[in-house]
Amino acid sequence: MTATPHRPHDGVFDVAVIGGGIVGAAIARELSGHDVTVALLEARDDVGDGTSKANTAILHTGFDAKPGTLESRLVARGYHLLSAYAKETGIPVEHTGAVLVAWNDEELAALPALREKAEANGYAHCRVVGADEVYDVLPHLGEGALGGLTVPDESIICTWTTNLALATDAQRRGTTILLRHAVTGVDPGDEGGTGAGDGGVTTLRTSAGDVRARWVVNAAGLGADRLDRLFGHDRFTVTPRRGELFVFDKLTRPLVDKIVLPVPTSRGKGVLISPTIYGNVMLGPTAEDLTDRTDTGTSEDGFDFLLTKGERLMPRLLAEEVTASYAGLRAAIDHPDYLIEADPAQRYLLVGGIRSTGLTAGIAIAEHVRTLLEEAGLELPPRGDVPEPPRMPNIGEAAPRPYQDAELIARDPAYGTVVCFCERVTEGEIRDACHAPLPARTPEGLRRRTRAMNGRCQGFFCGAAVAALSAQHQPDDGCGGRPAPCGRPAEHKDNR
């Protein structure tokens, strides 16, 4: 599928951004706010269908990042940028706050240092509290907590809507979005064309044909190291780290109104309990290094691990119904920080090693990339005609949904016709998702845009009706044919 650029080009884009996740979409949005032509290449048939879709969906303050790192700086700035952008576009956010819970003497002793780390990162609102205060705010927590560290500004956010908003915004600004364009080869030798930089052109060989660009940004996530090697580099290796999670029924939400964090270790932030933007409660993730970069299946060992952790953290939660389980892959690398480097000679920039904090840092990463590209020689003249950002449909529980909006229903009764009863998704929302600038083409794409089939029955009750409705509204997908009806039940659960 393609969108019309904001000005004609000669078959050569000024910049090609590879990777349609949150970071790639944010970079495309940032660059297309300038007078250059931008292509966003995504290997899959939808934006946000890789690592970004299975993020733990926390808007981080950056309180526990390593001070002085690029990650700490970009997460801290990204928190403010994304918070403002969410208000502007309607991305669902809930400011729940978080409590980091210490369960033994060693963890308790580490809390003052974590508060000092937060202050070194510019966040001065953490407090070390005793066990009584921990249980005052988390009365259903398991026995044995010794104390905690409060982080009042940690929040939950809709990672799905964030990705879609950034990509839609980039498209509105003129970015050409090329789906099903997996990069299989790179030819940097074509020196034809004129324009940005020194006029050299890189040809990207993709599964859907060649794409030519004067500059290339690698934001390919799990595939970033392989793409980096196509440019002749050997500077890092991605290890897919699987994180499995449980999603509990909405009836559990009264048990958890804050994010419950563990004391972090060298392997990550550990298992957390968090409310979700959709009214559920989430437990996870695990952290298992794999070799298969496509293995997003759940496992018996992962389930056992989560059940054991959950029994310690909040036994009452384990007595409730699990609505879904899913797994995501994080792009862990053998490097202690974000790896963002420009190669002016190749007109190439790498964005690698972006951990789960990339959700929060994405817009700040895009700013940083823009600065590096300008320093490397890419001219980015400002535009005076940048369109307003999109206003996104609300799929969160904190604000009214279409089925609750009497005025909206009076204008269009389709918003009063509920199709997915578990999640209260209406006919109007499914129609809109199929006709959006970046439309839903698959069952998972429809889930991420509407929550349809995302509830207790996982599409068992509503799947046929959703399939029939989506089939009525599926336009040609612009990628060489009509997509399959969006309403087919998914082959595996990958939702919140």
One digit per residue, the tens of pLDDT, for the chain of length 496 reads 444 444 545 799 999 999 999 999 999 999 999 999 999 999 999 999 998 988 889 999 999 999 999 999 999 999 999 999 999 999 999 999 999 999 999 999 999 999 999 999 999 999 999 999 999 999 999 999 999 999 999 999 999 999 999 999 999 999 999 999 999 999 986 544 433 434 589 999 999 999 999 999 999 999 999 999 999 999 999 998 999 999 999 999 999 999 999 997 554 567 999 999 999 999 999 988 898 888 888 899 999 999 999 999 999 999 999 999 988 888 888 889 999 999 999 999 999 999 899 999 999 999 999 999 999 999 999 999 999 999 999 999 999 999 999 999 999 999 999 999 999 999 999 999 999 999 998 889 999 999 999 998 988 899 999 989 988 887 655 443 344 444 333 333 333 3
Q: How many CB atoms lie within 10 A of CB 308?
A: 12
**CA 237: distance to chain centroid?**
21
Say how far apart CA 458 and CA 420 lie, in whole Å. 10
> Which residues 6+ apart lie within 8 Å of 122 measured at CB?
62, 76
Q: Is the peptide bond before 285 cis (omega within 30 degrees of 0)?
A: yes
Q: What separation in angstroms does the CA of 227 have from each of 45, 238, 335, 378, 390?
A: 19, 11, 17, 21, 31
262 is written with which tokens?
Answer: 């563990």
Calculate the CA dihedral of residues 368, 369, 373, 379 and round it to 10 degrees. Answer: -80
Say how far apart CA 149 and CA 187 lie, in whole Å. 52
Say how far apart CA 477 and CA 105 lie, in whole Å. 57
Q: Which residue has the tokens 């000679």?
A: 345
Give the start-end residues of each E strand in 311-432: 322-333, 339-343, 348-352, 418-420, 425-426
Asked whether the beta carbons of 196 and 378 are under 8 A apart, the reply is yes
Give the start-end residues of each E strand in 76-208: 93-94, 98-102, 127-130, 147-151, 155-157, 176-178, 183-190, 201-206
Q: How many CB atoms lie within 10 A of CB 301?
A: 11
**CA 404: distance to chain centroid?**
27
**CA 456: distance to chain centroid?**
23
